[in-house]
Structure 1
Amino acid sequence: MEPIEINAGTWYLRALRADDRIDDRPALAEGGITDPDYVTLRTTGWAEESHFSWAVCEPTTAEMVTEVGATPTGDGTAELTGWARVGFEAALEAGLTTVRRFVDGALGLRPTHR
């Protein structure tokens, strides 16, 4: 599956990126994620439909402030996870709410949250 972008009003959800236009690696590092292959791992998750992830971003700058993910578990559910940069906890909650609706409506899976 190709990554799905979601406009959530105050926040914009998109696939993680590390290219010549947008580089989420500094924001990921602020969240404690320093694996240089992390963005590739998340891209592969979409392609294999094993994990769907979104960078929750400021809509005017596309700056990543949190990450939200959904992992199908094989039993009709998908486990939701996420983390936020300091000060962006409201963005995390908004992202989780948006992804919960996507998982239920578009994927037909029952979302669970760890």
Structure 2
Amino acid sequence: MEPIEINAGSWYLRALRADERIDDRPALAEGGITDPDYVLRRNGQWDAETHYSWAVCEPTTAELVAEIVVTPSTDGSAEIAGWSRPGYTDALDAGLTAVHRFTEGALGLSPRRVD
């Protein structure tokens, strides 16, 4: 599956990026994620349909402020987890609401939030 962008009101969700235009790795490092292959792996998981991940972004700068990951299970459910940079819990909450709807509507899975 190709990554899907989601509008979450004041925030937008997109695939993680590390290219010449946008590099999410510095923001990910603020969240404790320092693996240089993390973005590449997350994008590969979209292709394999094993995990779906989104960068929750500030719409004017495209800066990653949170990340949400959906992990499908074989029983028709999906775990949804996320984290945010300090001061961006509102972005995470808005993103989680939108991803729950996507998980149910587009993926046909029953979402379970993991904290």
| Amino acid corresponding to residue 94 of structure 1 in structure 2 | A
Q: How many residues align?
A: 114
| Amino acid corresponding to residue 9 of structure 1 in structure 2 | G
Quote the residue 1:71 is aligned against.
71
Quote the residue 2:14 is aligned against.
14
Q: Per the alignment, in what secondary structure is the counterpart of residue 59 of structure 2?
A: coil
Q: Per the alignment, in what secondary structure is the counterpart of residue 47 of structure 2?
A: helix
CA drift at 1:98: 0.5
| Amino acid corresponding to residue 3 of structure 2 in structure 1 | P
For residues 103 and 75 of structure 1, what CA distance do their matches in structure 2 show?
14
Gaps of 5+ in 1: none
Identical aligned residues as a percent: 69
Quote the residue 2:60 is aligned against.
60
For residues 77 and 33 of structure 2, what CA distance do their matches in structure 1 show?
26
CA drift at 1:66: 0.2
For residues 94 and 73 of structure 1, what CA distance do their matches in structure 2 show?
24
Quote the residue 1:84 is aligned against.
84
For residues 8 and 95 of structure 1, what CA distance do their matches in structure 2 show?
6
| Amino acid corresponding to residue 7 of structure 2 in structure 1 | N
Quote the residue 1:25 is aligned against.
25
The alignment yields a C-alpha RMSD, in angstroms, of: 0.5
CA drift at 1:68: 0.5
